[in-house]
Homo-oligomer: A and B are copies of this chain.
Amino acid sequence: MAYSDRIGASGGKIPDLRPGPSQVWQDYVRSPRAKTLRFGEHDVVFYEGDAADRVYELIEGAIMLYKLLPDGRRQVVEILGPQSLFGVVAGKIYDCNAETLTPAVVRSIDRRDAEGSADLQGHISRCLLSQIETLHEHTVLLGRKSAFERVASFLMRFVPNRGVADCLGPREGAKDDAVVLLTMTRQEIADYLGLTIETVSRVISDLKRRGVIAIEKQDRIRINNVCAICHLTGAH
């Protein structure tokens, strides 16, 4: 199964904002100037501080960007799905570490090529904008939401077309459930949500006890009632 089937090819939370790849970008990224790279699970694409001379597009799989404090505290700052751009920075070095969550296919192009082409720039801009909106959302989560709301928001991220502004609610009469494949360890989830692994575990157990979710496998969660989880996010 392709990652996009799970996370939602539309990009999760804000599907209509994630721009479809432009023709020019498509052409370039498939040209011989671009390099295809294949990674396993938990492989590093680049480190914070590396010279930022290439930019990347995730073709298949999932990638996380994270930063470390000197004492080892880690914060996952972004989780990326297919069609996401990463490694595009203002300075000369990457500001984050990039690591795969799943086996992944990545295309990379030379930074100067990306900067030289106006058409590529247009595509990049549109990607950056939806990225900023996601970061704003996540800032609210980290600054103002409780552990329950954080986990609920996290789960909703992976339910396509729900929890968004124009959410239609469950289809009439249909069972309002969904299956979410996390592809992340509890530690990675905790580091993304600004919590500890134990708190994430406790919240998930509690949601299970209350019957709103069922754990089909460690990283495969069935949401029995999407609306219920959505109301726990604090955003509705």
Contacts and interface: CB of A to CB of B under 8 A. Distances in A.
Given A89-B133, A129-B88, A132-B131, A74 B17 contact: no
Interface residues of A, number: 48
Interface of A: 14, 16-17, 19, 65, 67, 69-71, 73-75, 77-78, 88-91, 95-96, 118, 121-122, 124-126, 128-133, 135-140, 142-145, 191, 193-194, 234-236
Contacts of A132: 128, 131-132, 135
**Oligomer: number of copies:** 2
B95 A136 contact: yes
Contact of A125 (B74, B121, B137, B191): B121
Contacts of A193: 143
Contact of A124 (B71, B89, B125): B125
B69 A234 contact: yes
B133 A194 contact: no
Contacts of A77: 135-136, 139-140
Contacts of A140: 67, 69, 75, 77
